[in-house]
């Protein structure tokens, strides 16, 4: 289920009341933008883009244009509000990030289906 950036931030604050990951200051400092979000159960997958700080100095316009671009990271927020990277940090282009995002979600669905199938095949009422 796709959720909005505001819903992601609200969910994070519920899970991490003292957290600052999505604070305006933190996001501004790293040039963070939320590209897409998807909630699967109590996990939330999302893609961020980060840009280098504006204060970075470059020797030429070409150097600026080469370096001042967004880099993407695929992330996951767990039920406790902890956020981890899936794959490399700030190394993906947009297409690579979207591909990895879809792969992570599909892997999650696959694991859930495998768990459900295992449960249905092995569970015997009255055991345990």
Q: What are the residue ranges spanned by the domains of the chain?
A: 5-122
Please choose, from the candidates 56, 55, 38, the residue with its C-alpha nearest in 3D space to the C-alpha of residue 47.
38
Judge residue 72's burial from the number of C-beta atoms within 10 Å of its C-beta, 0-12 exposed, 13-18 middle, 19 or more buried: buried
Please name the residues in contact with 7: beta carbons below 8 A apart, sequence gap of 6 or more.
Answer: 37
Q: Copy the structure tokens of residue 72.
A: 């993407």
Q: Average pLDDT, stretch 64-73?
A: 70
Q: State yes or no: pLDDT of 53 exceeds 90.
A: no
Q: Average pLDDT, stretch 96-116?
A: 80
- Is pLDDT larger for residue 75 or for residue 61? 75
Of 52-66, 69-83, 114-128, minimum mean pLDDT range? 52-66
Please choose, from the candidates 54, 43, 24, the residue with its C-alpha nearest in 3D space to the C-alpha of residue 34.
24
Q: What is the pLDDT of residue 56?
A: 54
């Amino acid at each position: 289920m796709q959720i909005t950036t505001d819903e992601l931030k609200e969910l994070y604050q519920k899970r991490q009341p003292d957290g600052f990951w999505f604070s305006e200051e933190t996001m501004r400092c790293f040039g963070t933008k939320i590209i897409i979000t998807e909630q699967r159960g109590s996990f939330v997958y999302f893609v961020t883009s980060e840009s280098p700080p504006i204060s970075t100095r470059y020797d030429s316009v070409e150097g600026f244009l080469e370096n001042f671009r967004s880099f993407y990271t695929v992330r996951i927020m767990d039920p406790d509000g902890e956020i981890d990277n899936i794959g490399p940090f700030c190394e993906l282009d947009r297409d690579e990030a979207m591909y990895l995002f879809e792969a992570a979600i599909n892997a999650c669905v696959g694991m859930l289906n495998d768990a459900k199938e295992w449960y249905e095949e092995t569970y015997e009422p009255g055991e345990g």
